[in-house]
Structure 1
Amino acid sequence: MGAKTWMLIYGNESISETLKKKPALDRATTVELAKRLFPSETLKPLSDVDLYYTCPPDDELIIGCFSGLNIIAAKEFGIDYPSKLPTQFLDPSLGTTLYLHAMHSTVDWFAYAIWRDGKLQRSLSLSPDSGVLEDIGMKLPFEEPYWNGQHPAIDPEDDDSDYPFVFHPLELAESALLEFFGYQLEGVIDPSQLEPESIPLMRFKRASPWWKLW
């Protein structure tokens, strides 16, 4: 399957620190939030998953509400231009800081964005086929080693490579997971990091009504 995500995480404090404490999943609040954000859809409960599985198919929703933390994974978040996230999801009441994290290993694509109090602070989206799709705001410190060539995508002695970036977007994507949330999906993983499998999430089947009002 490879490493994939398309998710939003809202938090009022350090998300990595909150997740490290293994907060309890609030199932009643999770159901309420799912219905609130997707009011036009019928949501059928399915078996739970965990934080490792935040790349649901188009007809599923993955969501979890914890004290001071909300996690949502859905097709709407796998977008090339994070700054165009639908406004219904820019709700500071769900957390003062909102992160979007999306990546797809098959095409080496990565996108992320950060909003604070509903205002966009940083957005980046890039892949080798499409180039840099979006680059808004100042680069964050965890990005700098990649842009500076400290994690080369190719062997420096390989003069024949035409790879367009000095790093692989997927490697930056894994660093973003670690920087913001305290875990990784692939690569060299420190055993002291959070195990995403330890954070349960609810899963729902999504179905839109077949009728439409004109």
Structure 2
Amino acid sequence: MSQNRGEEMDAKRSILVYSDGDAKEILKSQPELDRELSIELANTLFPLKRFTPTEDGNLLLTNAQKNTLYIGSYPGLTIVSTPAIAIDYPSRLPGSFLDPELGNTIHLFAMHNAVEWFAYAIWKNGTLVRSLSVSGNDGQILEDIGPRQPFEEYHWSEGHPLFENPEEENCSPFNFNPLDLGDAAFNEYLGYQIEGYTSDSSPIDPSQIPLVGLQKLPWWKIW
């Protein structure tokens, strides 16, 4: 299986990863999905919503649409994909998503191909360690909190090659494409990349990590 940026120009992806330990190593072990616990956690995270089962997703397709939720609970690891966490300022993630009981380390990842936007954040034991939000479309660093992580340095360095010709229209003002940084973040913390993924590019096949699909039911009020 492979994907390229041209096939999904308007793709949006957003996931929260809760882990006790190294999420990448847990995923390498191909952990078994606990479907019952996944649904229970969905109801805990979204107590005011009601869900019905829909088609399952997987870790490669973390582009949950409005009113759709993908969630997976595994030993030592929980993954949630919902548009609700695709926010410009990751540090402002609602506290309801920061329950330390779900994992002592929390990673947020969000990408929007059409505007070349990427954001990620890390919390450890309830404390925000890093939050970054970068939009290539309008050349803004929306949020930059905490020290840059080692995997970022190559992209921020002056020696990093421009991904487009500076003379071309709509060229990113950064010396990197935020989506490339997003790929590097996925690879660093989860062990696989989104853009250009092939079965030979990673020891982890994200399409083989299932997520429970849930659809939000409409809310009706009887007067």
TM-score range, shorter chain: over 0.9
Are the counterparts in 2 of residues 149 and 167 from structure 1 also a CA contact under 8 Å? Answer: no
Supply the distance in 2 between the matched residues of 1:171 and 1:150 (Cα, whole angstroms).
Answer: 15
Give the superposition deviation at 1:171: 0.2
Question: Given residue 28 of structure 1, which amino acid in structure 2 is its aligned partner?
Answer: E
CA distance in structure 2 between the aligned counterparts of 1:150 and 1:18, rounded to whole angstroms: 34
Shift of 1:207: 2.6
Q: Which residue in the other structure is 1:179 paired with?
A: 188
**Residues 47-86 of structure 1: matches in 2 within 5 Å?**
47-86=55-94
Identify the match of residue 135 of structure 2 among 127, 131, 134: 127
Note the residue ranges of structure 1 that are not aligned, 5 or more in a row. Answer: none
In the alignment, is residue 139 of structure 1 matched against residue 148 of structure 2? yes
How many residues were matched structurally?
Answer: 211
Q: Is the 8 A contact 1:40 1:208 kept in 2?
A: no
8 Å contact kept, 1:40–1:209: no
> Are 1:49 and 1:203, in contact at CA under 8 Å, matched by a contact in 2?
yes
Match of 2:215 in 1: 205
**Aligned equivalents of 2:22, 2:159: Cα separation in 1:** 27
Letter in 1 for 2:180: E
Cα distance in 2 for partners of 1:210, 1:144 equals 50
How far apart, CA to CA, are the structure 1 residues paired with 2:45 and 2:26? 23
Q: In structure 2, how many angstroms separate the alpha carbons of the residues matched to 1:159 and 1:169?
A: 16
AA paired with 1:142?
A: F
For the 8 Å contact 2:54–2:215, the answer to whether it is kept is yes
Tell me if structure 1 keeps the 8 A contact 2:120–2:131.
yes
| Structure-1 separation of matches of 2:42 and 2:222 | 21
Question: 31, 37, 59: which one pairs with 2:45?
Answer: 37
* 1:96 positional shift: 0.3
In the alignment, structure 1 residue 11 sits paired with structure 2 residue 19: yes
Shift in Å, 1:75: 1.2
Whichever residue aligns with residue 200 of structure 1, its letter is P
Counterpart residue number, 2:3: none
Provide the alpha-carbon RMSD of the alignment. Answer: 1.9
- Structure 2, unmatched stretches of 5+, are 1-7
Q: 1:167 aligns with which of 173, 176, 193?
A: 176
The alignment's TM-score, normalised by the length of structure 2, stands at 0.89
Q: Note the C-alpha offset of 1:95.
A: 0.4
3-state secondary structure, aligned to 1:7: strand
After TM superposition, the runs of 4+ consecutive aligned structure 1 residues lying more than 6 A away are none
